[in-house]
Structure 1
């Protein structure tokens, strides 16, 4: 099995788990409010929102959403899951929110990369740069 397919399968399972956990947390939020959630749960809710709004939601009238090749889908999932996994190791959601705004914006903006206009090589390079930025940002937090 090639690396893209393996990455896709692993990411799909993680995305499914995140969305299921978000669904469970939604009931708690309705009862007692988001402020009562743990930082880990707040991270899950935010990543679930990112997945639903910026990964799953599509607009067929735009060139970047009309056609999404497999590599773009896999790299978007990889970056979102990497952010999620690294976020889970940080102590507070507040720290992540305060320091990771630019990274979260990059994650939200991935869907706007037009693979037909920009080509696979450029999109792959940009998504790899986002992945590196995620890793560097979390390394900086650890220091």
Structure 2
């Protein structure tokens, strides 16, 4: 996972997350543990129903109940994490089967402070095993502001 720094930002996403599977209930505890450092208690996560296997309506994370809200109309390839004080982080969801170098590039770009790219632009090339990202731009301006270990 990669996040933008804590500051006023523009754009569509506040960072990126690359889960290992389509099992939301299994993937969320590690993500929420890392995000709790920034957000505190996280009682709600919303997601697009088409991108995950069937998920329960709630899960327990560190003894706290987290409501999972799946929507057909939710923007594709994003997950919203909502804190107890209603602060919200929108994360780019990099599909689990994405080729590693392509996923890395998408995550680096999503975490860039000045990034204003739409989700589709950030994910360009992530649906195939061959990256379609312009090699000249692949490492140019996308530098992560913050990196966390434990959640990919």
The normalised TM-score by structure 1 is 0.34
More relative contact order in 1 or in 2 (CA 8 Å, sep 6+)?
A: 2
Normalized per residue, the structure richer in strand is 2
Give 1 or 2 for the bigger CA radius of gyration. 1
Q: Give the number of the structure whose residues are more often helix, by fraction.
A: 1
Give me the TM-score of the superposition, normalised by structure 2. Answer: 0.32
